[in-house]
Amino acid sequence: MNYLQIAETLDNASLHAKAVQQISQQEKFDLNAAYAIQSISLSRRYIRGEKLLGLKLGFTSKAKMEQMGVHDMIWGRLTDKMLYQDQGKLVKSEFIHPRAEPEIAFRISKTISKPVDLSNAKEVVDGLALAIEIIDSRYENFSFSLEDVVADNCSSAGFLIGSWHSPEKQIQDIGVSLLLNDEVVHEGNSNAILGNPWESLVAAIRLALDNGEKLEAGSIILAGAATAASYIEAGQKVSAKADGFESICLFIS
Ligand code: OOG
Ligand code: MG
């Protein structure tokens, strides 16, 4: 299998907003190969000038696993090109078949050099925020195997972050929802994320350390959606709400 070629195919699919066939339908490959392809495709982005801003976890909730038919936690990378402003605009034609999902974001306070657990996770975080993630699988029909989606940087395509709050803010057991044109389309509870969204931070740090990925002050981690995702269309306003947080939104054109 030619990792370089597959990374190029996926990167081009994203650049030109044109879906490609699942890799797994052409060739068998394992998760190690998938993460290697992801890493190469990210190198192409870095060469074009994109900066790594942080990491995202995927399939940390049952709602997401069931929607996509995939049952293992995955991780991908977020770059500055993917970042949108709250109340900003997203041009749908720059994407293939984008979906939105509500997320919780952590901001790292200092360079991470060792794993954390639930008892000390807060010590490495200086901000918590509500976020929306835009996912856009580069595969036809938004369908993929676990290896396919990992190679495709876990469908990462965009994200926006609301205002940052103190790490003391409650993110456990809070209602989270996604709205299209101010109508709730998906509702969930933050504890759907690994039983406690802080577990996502613990897992992301472990994965980053295991994979030699740097987490420095200011890095952002998306915990994984607590609800299923919704397709978005031009003309829509997409918002996320969570108890205790100001709602955030994006306008699709
Ligand atoms: C993969 C990305 C999953 C999440 O929050 O679970 C993810 C996908 O659903 O295309 O971002
Ligand atoms: Mg997500």
pLDDT by residue, tens only, the chain of 253 residues: 899 999 999 999 999 999 999 999 999 999 999 999 999 999 999 999 999 999 999 999 999 999 999 889 999 999 999 999 999 999 999 999 999 999 999 999 999 999 999 999 999 999 999 999 999 999 999 999 999 999 999 999 999 999 999 999 999 999 999 999 999 999 999 999 999 999 999 999 999 999 999 899 999 999 999 999 999 999 999 999 999 999 999 999 9
Query: How far does residue 222's CA lie from ligand 2's centre (Å)?
Result: 7
Check pocket membership of 101 for ligand 1, CB cut-off 6 A.
Answer: yes
Say which residue the tokens 């790490």 belong to. 167
DSSP code, position 100: E
Question: Which atom of ligand 1 is nearest the CA belonging to 64?
Answer: 6
This model's pTM is above 0.95: yes
Nearest bound ligand to CA 67? 1
Say which residue the tokens 């109340």 belong to. 87
What tokens appear for 13 in the block? 């699919």
Query: How far does residue 99's CA lie from ligand 1's centre (Å)?
Result: 10
Query: How far does residue 133's CA lie from ligand 2's centre (Å)?
Result: 6
Mutate to test the pocket of ligand 1, among 10, 61, 62, 64 (most ligand atoms within 8 A of CB): 64
- Structural contact between residues 215 and 208, judged by C-beta atoms closer than 8 angstroms: yes
Round to whole Å and give the CA distance between 86 and 104: 14
